[in-house]
Structure 1
Amino acid sequence: MRGHRQMELPEDFFIPISLDTNNITALSPFLVPQDHLGHLGVFYAMSIYMFFLFVSGTTINVLTIACTVQYKKLRSHLNYILVNLAVANLIVACVGSSTCFYCFSFRYMAVGPTGCKIEGFAATLGGMVSLWSLAVVAFERWLVVCKPLGNFAFKSHHAIACCVATWVFALIASAPPLFGWSRYIPEGMQCSCGPDWYTTNNKYNNESYVYFLFGFCFAVPFTTIVFCYSQLLLMLKSAAKAQAESASTQKAEREVTRMVVVMVLGFLFCWAPYTIFSLWVVNNRGQSFDLRLATIPSCMSKASTVYNPMIYILLNKQFRTCLKKMLGMSASDDEESSSSSVTEVSKVGPA
């Protein structure tokens, strides 16, 4: 189904239709399976995928929070931000992924219009908190390692304030569709919900909301991440050049470079598809496209509940050591590497 035509529809959904029919409610994503949008196998495969994200995302983020609660040495300012990220991921996994799993298994938005709004809002809220948390992590690393403010110390109360700010920013971004600026409706294969970025209903000012999300929730965090990590890499390369014979400094530079690349790629993998797709649609009104493709960026963003903790938490040696201890696994190797590796990164910064 390549093109679509927009028709007068009930307030709570939009259906791209290529079928000649006057009975629009017969295809309502809140009433009947959306088998006209894809093969049964596709719906069930998506259901299995969402179940995997729900189980793995819930498990890894609950373990992250539990580990921080159990081990006092993990209650540092950086780990406060990582736990904030875990809480946001947990919301997306428990509300977003679980609802999508349920709806894909029935092949329609079986939770109804209210459930759609709840799922769309929760997934957007958690996603925005996660997004801003990644920017805060980058900002914290820049302040601590590069020391642009001299002897300023980034402490726990600063981290808590930053965490609160991520929720405020996320609410500013996710609440408007509940009050008439855009709206939460079924997207893609009609089994998940998100902001309405593909209709031209002027009542909801969808286009301005899309531009707002792009500027405030993608461009600003991404610019922050790129700036902070680029400064970190430049400083490390300078330190490594000055200490060319220091194996530990060279190793620290390689490790940080690898992590920075993974972090930035992970950010783009999660949010770039959604951003590019929505902006293309907004700026190419009237062009034919397959709305079912919207399922792909939606799924990629929800996958962040699994790979974000793996990047930001499981690559944290101290965190990984405590997690292994909590699970009754041997952590001796990690303890050695963790004590020797330092925080070699923070050692190479200016005094």
Structure 2
Amino acid sequence: MHSNLTVTSNYTELLPDSHYIFPALVFGILLIVVIICGNLLVCLSVWTEKALKTTTNYFIVSLAVADLLLAVLVLPLFVYSEFQGGVWTLNSVLCDALMTMDVMLCTASIFNLCAISVDRFIAVSIPLNYNRKHIDQRQIILLSTTWIFALAVASPVIFGINHVPDRDPTLCKLEDNNYIIYSSVCSFFIPCPIMLLLYCLMFQGLKKWEEARKTKLKNSMHASMKFQSGHSLPQCPPPAIERDPADVKLKELNCYSHPDCPFPKEYKDGHTQTIALPKLNCVQEPSKKKRAKINGRERKAMKVLPVVVGVFLFCWTPFFVVHITRALCESCDISPELMSIVTWLGYVNSALNPIIYTVFNTEFRNFFRKFLRSCC
């Protein structure tokens, strides 16, 4: 959220009235509670429910941890500063630590959103080689890179970039405009287009997949109708009991499961001996089932994409546009009210993330219902 306390830095003179401070305090406290409760539920559900221990959900837990730490380590001090009318009454070391955590955790939250888009893109591009049950080395590297990059973006603050001459100790903000531009580009203006591109590619891949599936289904129906027009009944081989077992092929056994087969599924001879034919298929059913399962799950993701991208852009774009504009144009007149709105809007995204990535998941919904019923 990069220098979000900058938003309140000028409130001492511009917005000192209690009519602003009290609503901001109430809203901030409620937002902290919602973020903590929502993200704790996400972590608890994946920890306790075996059905939720999937690769994609581990990425969602990483996102929840970033949002949870933001609500615990950053937002309370931000709300405290609002309550003080924008005046920083604590020491500058704590201010720099707060700015570092603020930049790192908000960047980690955005990077985790981007990592989820990468993970889902891989799941659509190479579904048969994608491990959904156990996290592999590729996914561990992706998760680790997310947090390492977030720390790298925030590290200049803790290493002293805020130590400028004539620093005002009553204000807690990012002091270097070049760093504001750098952090904004790294935290938003680079990962955002990447995430949008990956989701667009995933959407196109799922669309082509769906079209290919429909085309294959139409061809199968056409071939079936053509076969039935030329044959009144399927041609089955002689019953297996009348032949040498060594000459019976596995593909022939599947023919007896056809409802129109002239030979019964169970064959009785003159001594009323019964043989039940094994249910074997001529094709590789496991692979077809696996493809169908992945296809169905990823097709559901198409319905979530507009929500994911829309909420992400709605919450983060205004803040970073205003934020980088202030750094590039010091003479531009940006009202404190506008800065306050876009700042809180960015924080709201941390409360919406658990809703976006769990409300569309049946297992998450079932856990939430069960948990709330047991508590309430």
- Normalising by structure 2, we get a TM-score of 0.67
Q: Is the 8 A contact 1:124 1:194 kept in 2?
A: no
Aligned-residue CA RMSD (Å):
3.4
Map residues 130-209 of structure 1 onto 2, 5 A cutoff: 130-147=109-126, 151=129, 153=131, 155-157=134-136, 158-182=138-162, 194-196=173-175, 204=176, 206-207=177-178, 209=179
CA-CA distance at 1:289 after TM superposition:
3.1
2:69 corresponds to 1:75: no
Map residues 27-176 of structure 1 onto 2, 5 A cutoff: 34=12, 36-107=14-85, 108-147=87-126, 151=129, 153=131, 155-157=134-136, 158-176=138-156
2:188 corresponds to 1:210: no
Aligned residue-pair number: 287
CA-CA distance at 1:194 after TM superposition:
4.8
Aligned-partner Cα distance in 1 for 2:362–2:141: 25
Q: Is the 8 A contact 2:97 2:158 kept in 1?
A: no
Aligned-partner Cα distance in 1 for 2:130–2:28: 44
Map residues 190-269 of structure 1 onto 2, 5 A cutoff: 194-196=173-175, 204=176, 206-207=177-178, 209-244=179-214, 255-269=300-314
CA-CA distance at 1:135 after TM superposition:
0.5
Aligned-partner Cα distance in 2 for 1:105–1:210: 25
Aligned partner (choices 342, 345, 349) of residue 297 of structure 1: 342
CA-CA distance at 1:300 after TM superposition:
1.4
Aligned to 1:342: none
Q: Is the 8 A contact 2:63 2:112 kept in 1?
A: yes
1:215/1:114 CA distance change after superposition, 3 Å = same
**Deviations 1:246-295, CA, capped at 9 Å, x for gaps:** 9x999978853331111112221232122211222233232333345322
CA-CA distance at 1:156 after TM superposition:
0.5
CA-CA distance at 1:110 after TM superposition:
4.1
Q: Is the 8 A contact 1:133 1:166 kept in 2?
A: yes
2:371 corresponds to 1:326: yes
Aligned partner (choices 274, 286, 306) of residue 351 of structure 2: 306
Aligned to 2:224: none
SS state at 1:327 partner: helix
Aligned to 1:5: none
Aligned partner (choices 271, 275, 280) of residue 316 of structure 2: 271
CA-CA distance at 1:64 after TM superposition:
1.3
Aligned-partner Cα distance in 2 for 1:170–1:132: 7
**How many percent of aligned residue pairs carry the same amino acid?**
22
Aligned-partner Cα distance in 1 for 2:193–2:332: 30
1:14/1:294 CA distance change after superposition, 3 Å = closer
Aligned-partner Cα distance in 2 for 1:322–1:69: 11
Aligned-partner Cα distance in 2 for 1:119–1:232: 37
**Deviations 1:113-144, CA, capped at 9 Å, x for gaps:** 34433332222211111111001100000001
Matching residue's letter, 2:316: W
Structure 1: any 5+ residue segments left out of the alignment? 1-12, 17-27, 185-189, 197-203, 330-351
Q: Is the 8 A contact 1:233 1:257 kept in 2?
A: yes
1:139/1:73 CA distance change after superposition, 3 Å = same
Structure 2: any 5+ residue segments left out of the alignment? 165-169, 218-291
1:223/1:183 CA distance change after superposition, 3 Å = farther
**Deviations 1:285-344, CA, capped at 9 Å, x for gaps:** 323333453222221111122001111123222222223233347xxxxxxxxxxxxxxx
Q: Is the 8 A contact 1:274 1:297 kept in 2?
A: yes
1:77/1:264 CA distance change after superposition, 3 Å = same
